[in-house]
Structures are given as C-alpha cells and as structure tokens.
Structure 1
C-alpha cells in the first residue's frame, strides 16, 4: 500500500529527451546566470550586456519550471543540466556568442 502512495521518481537527467526549446531554455538560463554573476561582482566583461538581475532570475525560474513540467525532471535533474551547460559555455568561451539570441528569447518571454 505504501508503494502505491509513493511519488514516481523523477527521470534521470541523462535519460531525458530534450526538445530544441528545452535546450535553448537551459542554454540561456546558464548564460544569464553566468552574466548576472559577473555583473554582481563588477566584472568589466559583463558590462556590455543589459542588467540581468531580477529579469534574468525570473526567466531562469519560469523557463526551468517549464523544462521540469515538460520532461519530468526534478530540480536536481534540471540543476545538473544547467550546471553542465554553464561549464560548457565557460570552457568553450561561448557565453558572448549565445547572449544575443538569449536576449531575444528573454524579450519574447515577456518576463
């Protein structure tokens, strides 16, 4: 009887199929988190982008909640994907390359 009441375990992050929209939300959330952090520490390289404080956080929350709803991932699974993407963006020096498209996505989100 207890097994019937237990919640279904979340899908592991490495087993989930992401749509193009899910991947873009994860990529832009990671990029916004990186830029917002750099802006909060006064890093000169982040000054070329609009302030991402509250708006970037709101996008992060809303977009990743949608990814959770659409994929069945829990917070830990989504956090793993965003963390992996943030590392990839930093390692490849790709944050500045994705930011223009991410800012368009931010505007389109209405956040």
Structure 2
C-alpha cells in the first residue's frame, strides 16, 4: 500500500459523516469518474456500509442496540482495508470512494426505511458479511497501523 493510499484511507476512515451520530442522509452528488466495481468489491463495500450502520445504531443507544453485535475496531479496520484495496485496484481517489460508500450506505438505509426494528434487518444483512470480516480482520489478530 502506498503512503498516498494510506493517507487517503485514514482520512476517509476518520470522516465523521460516514458513521456519525446523525440520522441517515441522502448521499452527496457522485463525483465524475466513479469506477465500476467488481462484484466482490461491491459486496465488500456493502458490508462496510452494514458495519457502519450497526455502529451508528449502537452509538445511538436505542432499544435495537442491545440486539446488535459490537464490531468495534474490527469493523473500522475492515472499512480501511477494503477502501485501500479499492483505491489500489481502481486508482480511485477519496471523493470517488466516499461516493461509492455513500451509495452503499444509502442502499442499506433504504432497506431499513420501513423496518420497525432495525436490529433484525441489520443482523440478517450481517450474516454473510461476518465471513468477509473474519477473513479480512480475524479476531485476535492485531490490526494494521499507519506505520505498518
């Protein structure tokens, strides 16, 4: 991973609007030249959005929070690694990755829109994503650091 990629991913991961404490919002306008993703990249980005929405629900502390797993730093690390891989594979920059992620998050939010209780919907969406999370960021294995 190049230093430029690491910096772009860290800046993107630190962006508070991606998993911030506010209600879901419409995605920003899509920048030009957003790369077309392969199916595995789309699935990985979708899982990042599921993890982000779970983190949001847990942070909100509502009744649904108790029924959702605490993905902690593993979910964030997954997002960082997947974003870096997409940047490396496609040559996309931060604006393009942000637009792709916002679109994936909007897809998850549309699924949740009519749910009385988001926990069962998110847990169902999480089921296939757990495998990807475990493969990318195994439990008990140290996460990457900016220096390494």
What TM-score bracket applies, with the shorter chain setting the length? 0.7 to 0.9
After superposition, the CA RMSD in angstroms is 2.0
Higher helix share: 1
Structure 1 residue 12 corresponds to structure 2 residue 39: no
Larger radius of gyration: 1
Number of the residue aligned with 1:8: none
Bigger shift: 85-94 or 100-109? 85-94
- The CA deviation at 1:82 is 0.8
Counterpart residue number, 1:25: 44
- TM-score normalised over the length of structure 1: 0.79
Aligned residues: 100
The unaligned stretches of length 5 or more in structure 2 are 1-31, 113-120, 139-148
Q: Which consecutive unaligned segments of at least 5 residues does structure 1 have?
A: 1-10
In the superposition, relative to structure 1, how do residues 102 and 86 fare at CA in structure 2: closer, same or farther (>3 Å)?
same
Q: Which runs of 4+ in 1 moved over 6 A?
A: none
Partner Cα separation in structure 1 for residue 96 and residue 42 of structure 2: 14
Secondary structure of the structure 1 residue equivalent to 2:92:
coil
